[in-house]
């Protein structure tokens, strides 16, 4: 029988990759899309004919109940949220409405309308904030440091509580930074691969960056969404960290990207204090022991391969469309 999946946040980076993955696996895919973002279909244009869009909003419980009743999904993936950390400081209440209470509404809707649906909640490494240990594991204490992390922490524990109280099949995946050609250039990974491609093609001649020593645990969004799907295929629901398990510095990233286009990064990159962050003492890195051992998951793409994929994409895209 054809499996059905409902994805919130379908138009985002992860939602679009997950939608593609589930279509290749033969699922009937439904996407919950806010009316206001319905013009923002760029990431899913190439497969929008194969999916069904349902209108709904995490702020409105009745719209969630309607969507679940209509789709009758076997699996529900909650990838929608207000996810921009700086905005969570200027709009903390709205962040809580979407990222925290939105999950309460969704859990209640599932409990009432489709309690046998399997549920994936997108938790974030931001729940660890200032962690006591590194690498972090599924048992590391949550110490969020911004309203987004606080909201994700609430959502995480509500998902776990609904699993315990109502015996629902609920899972939280704690994802670290994950990148792809569908990322915006405001994020440093895409900023660098895009700039390396532009410089190679003679369309730019410099790149200004902030802290070159900053380190991140980067993995490919395609690898991350595969882990999300895998988590919902198990006998028992559980929570897992989804990460690469290693960190790399911005310096290594820039070096690797410029190597891909055959240029020496030091000829083009300068450091601009405008891109420095004030609070950067913490470096998050996830332990992937649990997901590796229990589900047999690990990233298929190395750091270098991910850089290559993104530089190649940017070279092709810029060559085709111009800068
Ligand atoms: P996020 O902080 O994980 O959401 O992702 P970013 O891609 O925005 O930043 C990753 C790291 O790169 C941070 O530690 C930044 O301090 C560092 N970084 C260094 N130069 C830049 C830059 O020019 N832009 C951005 N966005 N980050 C930079």
pLDDT digits (tens, 9 = 90+) for 233-289: 999 999 999 999 999 999 999 999 999 999 999 999 999 999 998 776 677 999 999
Identify whether residues 47 and 17 lie together within a single domain.
Answer: yes
- Mean pLDDT in residue range 222-239: 98
Residue 245 Cα to ligand 1 midpoint, Å, equals: 19
Whether residue 167 is predicted with pLDDT greater than 70 in this model: the reply is yes
Identify whether residues 129 and 254 lie together within a single domain.
Answer: no
Q: Is the CB of 92 under 6 A from ligand 1?
A: no
Does this model's pTM top 0.85? yes
Identify whether residues 145 and 200 lie together within a single domain.
Answer: no
Q: Is the CB of 22 under 6 A from ligand 1?
A: no
Is position 295 within any domain? no
The CATH number assigned to the domain holding 85 equals 3.40.50.720
pLDDT at residue 322, rounded to an integer: 65
User: Residue 283, class by beta-carbon neighbours within 10 Å (0-12 exposed, 13-18 middle, 19+ buried)?
Assistant: middle
- Pick the catalytic residue: 20, 126, 179, 255? 126
Identify whether residues 196 and 255 lie together within a single domain.
Answer: yes
pLDDT band at residue 323 under the 50/70/90 scheme: low
User: For the chain, first and last CA: distance in Å?
Assistant: 46
In ligand 1, the atom with minimum distance to the C-alpha of 187 is 7
- Pick the catalytic residue: 88, 124, 180, 244? 124
Is position 294 within any domain? no
Residue nearest to ligand 1 atom 3, measured at CA: 177
Q: What are the tens digits of pLDDT across the range 112-129?
A: 999 999 999 999 999 999
Residue nearest to ligand 1 atom 19, measured at CA: 210
Q: Is the CB of 280 under 6 A from ligand 1?
A: yes
Q: What radius of gyration do the chain's Cα atoms show? A: 20
Domain that holds residue 145: 4-178+218-242
Identify whether residues 106 and 252 lie together within a single domain.
Answer: no
Residue nearest to ligand 1 atom 6, measured at CA: 187
Identify whether residues 124 and 254 lie together within a single domain.
Answer: no
Q: Is the CB of 269 under 6 A from ligand 1?
A: no
Cα dist. 308→98, 140, 199 in Å?
35, 33, 16
Give the chain's length. Answer: 323
Mean pLDDT of the chain: 95
Q: What are the tens digits of pLDDT across the range 46-97?
A: 888 899 999 999 999 999 999 999 999 999 999 999 888 889 999 999 999 9
Give me the residue label for tokens 């973002």.
37
- Pick the catalytic residue: 27, 148, 154, 176? 148
pLDDT at residue 39, rounded to an integer: 58
DSSP 286: B
Residue nearest to ligand 1 atom 27, measured at CA: 188
Residue 126 catalytic?
yes
Nearest to 32, CA basis, from 17, 13, 47, 51? 51
Residue 240 catalytic?
no
Identify whether residues 142 and 232 lie together within a single domain.
Answer: yes
Q: How many Cα atoms occupy the beta-carbon half-sphere of 212 within 13 Å?
A: 14
Identify whether residues 73 and 136 lie together within a single domain.
Answer: yes
């Amino acid at each position: 029988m054809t499996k059905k999946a409902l994805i919130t946040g379908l138009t985002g980076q992860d939602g679009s990759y997950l939608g593609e993955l589930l279509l290749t696996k033969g699922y009937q895919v439904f996407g919950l899309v806010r009316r206001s973002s319905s013009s923002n279909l760029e990431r899913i244009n190439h497969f929008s004919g194969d999916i069904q869009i349902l209108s709904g909003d995490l702020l409105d419980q009745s719209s969630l109940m309607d969507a679940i009743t209509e789709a009758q999904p076997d699996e529900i993936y909650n990838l929608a949220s207000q996810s921009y950390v700086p905005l969570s400081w200027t709009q903390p209440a709205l962040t809580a409405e979407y990222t925290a209470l939105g999950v309460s509404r969704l859990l209640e809707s599932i409990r009432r309308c489709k309690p046998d649906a399997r549920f994936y909640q997108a938790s974030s490494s931001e729940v660890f904030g200032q962690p006591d240990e590194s690498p972090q594991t599924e048992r590391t204490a949550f110490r969020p440091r911004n309203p987004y992390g606080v909201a994700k922490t609430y959502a995480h524990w509500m998902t776990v509580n609904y699993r315990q109280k109502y015996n629902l099949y609920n899972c939280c995946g704690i994802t670290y930074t994950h990148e792809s050609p569908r990322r915006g250039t405001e994020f440093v990974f895409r900023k660098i691969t895009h700039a390396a491609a532009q410089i190679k093609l003679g369309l730019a001649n410099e790149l200004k960056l902030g802290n070159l020593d900053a380190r991140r645990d980067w993995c490919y969004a395609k690898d991350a969404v595969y882990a999300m799907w895998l988590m919902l295929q198990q006998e028992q629901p559980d929570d897992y960290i989804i990460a690469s398990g290693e960190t790399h510095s911005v310096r290594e990233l820039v070096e690797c990207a410029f190597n891909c286009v055959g240029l020496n990064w030091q000829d083009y990159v300068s450091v601009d204090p405008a891109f420095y962050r004030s609070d950067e003492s913490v470096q998050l890195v996830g332990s992937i022991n649990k997901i590796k051992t229990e589900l047999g998951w690990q990233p298929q793409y190395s750091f270098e391969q991910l850089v290559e994929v993104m530089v190649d994409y940017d070279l092709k895209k810029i060559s085709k469309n111009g800068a």
